[in-house]
Amino acid sequence: MPTADQIKALLSSHAEGDEAQFFAVAMQIAAAEARVGHGKFAEELRALIDKAKNRVAIEAASPIPLAKPRGELADILSVSYPKTNLSDMVLGKPLERRLSRVIREHKAVRHIRSNGLSPRRKLLLVGKPGTGKTLTASALAGELGLPLFVVRLDGLITKFMGETSAKLRLIFDSLKQTRGVYLFDEFDSIGSERGLANDVGEIRRVVNSFLQMVEQDHSDSLIIAATNHIGLLDRALFRRFDDIIEFDLPDEDQIKLLLQTKLSGFKVLKIRWATIAQSALGLSYADIVRAVEDSIKTALIEDREAISHVDLATCIDERKATLVGGGAAT
Ligand SMILES: Nc1ncnc2c1ncn2[C@@H]1O[C@H](COP(=O)(O)OP(=O)(O)OP(=O)(O)O)[C@@H](O)[C@H]1O
């Protein structure tokens, strides 16, 4: 018979989701049974362990079933399977730490849940256009191997005026059924009255439904709301999020790293990185990526092998010229 310590070790490894330890203890029990002459019982145990190990191996190896929104959901949810990682992004240390924390909590979801806690799963991302909010949702999905579902709230509201709450319910049902990262982009379109001046009562109902559904949601999916206009959001929405994460325009070091990363596959000629990084201050990540792409195209059009300082500086200046009112150009 297994000892009390073995039973304890078995249960605690199960509670911690430590499969390797669970199987190791189970094998020890089988070996002990064989030693005391219970050969048949030991064989049965080993067969059961092999069967369980196979199941775990199959689950780990199988990709997430391709989830494709159907029917009404297809109009409001789009799905992708991003391969992006956090390391593909240029991030300041504090932001990187916060996002890594979310990933680590989700990777340990079973362990965290078995201790009566819940991982951070409701995030509000706030920042100017082109500062990486959407990319972050992709990176979280990519890191966790989950599908990314993008909810177009502005489309949802204008298209289904009067039935928006029912559509939201469909999304929250999907959230329970299919674990994924659900991005509510342009979230201010439900959190504010902007663009809906004709029907303030309806938007109030939508906000209330969202508040209720988000509060009642205990699924393992990640809910990410992104907005460029935090000032427009209903204050009651803030409390529903586990984390509010701000995205800023890149500083000089981040610009330099972004430029160098984006140009890493190309030949460059005497680029004075610090000078260019300084001149690009005020641009968003998206603006800078576009300026880099423009500079590559310039060199290609002119049939030159290398991208010069002037190519890049000119494209950065052009982007800066499109800045409206001192904000990011995107
Ligand atoms: N931190 C980053 N590191 C590297 N590239 C970035 C970063 N942030 C943004 N980018 C680049 O800018 C593009 C646009 O970023 P993204 O769509 O995530 O911005 P956003 O904040 O969601 O903008 P919007 O509010 O307009 O939707 C990305 O596809 C990527 O090329």
Centre of ligand 1 to C-alpha 258, Å, is: 12
| DSSP state string for 205-218 | HHHHHHHHHHHH--
More confident residue, 17 or 282: 282
For a pocket test of ligand 1, which of 153, 289, 292, 324 has the largest count of ligand atoms closer than 8 A to its C-beta? Answer: 289
Task: Decide if 183 contacts 134 (C-beta within 8 A).
Answer: yes
DSSP-based three-state secondary structure for 323: coil
> Does the structure show a pLDDT above 70 at 217?
yes
Q: What's the CA gap between 79 and 149, in Å, rounded? A: 4
Q: What's the mean pLDDT in 277-299?
A: 96
Least confident of 59-63, 175-179, 205-209: 59-63
Ligand 1 neighbour 174 (Cβ under 6 A): no
Percent of the chain with pLDDT over 90: 51
DSSP-based three-state secondary structure for 248: coil
- The token pair that represents 175 in the structure block: 């959230």
Closest by Cα among 90, 82, 185, 86 to 138: 82
Q: What's the mean pLDDT in 62-67?
A: 50
Instruction: Read off the pLDDT of residues 127-142 as tens digits, 9 standing for 90 and up.
Output: 999 999 999 999 999 9
Average pLDDT over all residues of the chain:
84
Task: Decide if 318 contacts 279 (C-beta within 8 A).
Answer: no
For strands 77-80 and 148-152, give the pairing: antiparallel
Q: Does the domain made of 252-321 have the CATH classification 1.10.8.60?
A: yes
> Does the structure show a pLDDT above 70 at 261?
yes
Domain boundary assignment for the chain: 4-61, 71-247, 252-321
Ligand 1 neighbour 237 (Cβ under 6 A): no
Task: Decide if 288 contacts 319 (C-beta within 8 A).
Answer: yes
More confident residue, 174 or 61: 174
> Does the structure show a pLDDT above 90 at 253?
yes
Residues in the chain: 330
Supply the pTM of this predicted model: 0.77
Task: Decide if 248 contacts 127 (C-beta within 8 A).
Answer: yes
More confident residue, 179 or 3: 179
Any idea which architecture 71-247 has in CATH?
3-Layer(aba) Sandwich (3.40)
ipTM value for the complex: 0.98
Q: What's the CA gap between 283 and 293, in Å, rounded? A: 15
Ligand 1 neighbour 91 (Cβ under 6 A): yes
Give, in order, the Cα–Cα distances in Å from 225 to each of 18, 217, 267. 33, 15, 39
Ligand 1 neighbour 89 (Cβ under 6 A): yes
> Does the structure show a pLDDT above 70 at 321?
yes
Residue 311 confidence class, pLDDT cut points 50, 70, 90: very high
For residue 65, the model assigns a pLDDT of 47
- The token pair that represents 49 in the structure block: 């362990």
> Does the structure show a pLDDT above 60 at 202?
yes
Q: What's the mean pLDDT in 210-232?
A: 89
For residue 287, the model assigns a pLDDT of 97
| E-assigned strand segments in the chain | 77-80, 122-127, 148-152, 181-185, 222-227, 243-247, 267-269, 306-308
- The protein residue whose alpha carbon is closest to atom 16 in ligand 1 is 132
For residue 8, the model assigns a pLDDT of 76
199 secondary structure, DSSP code: G
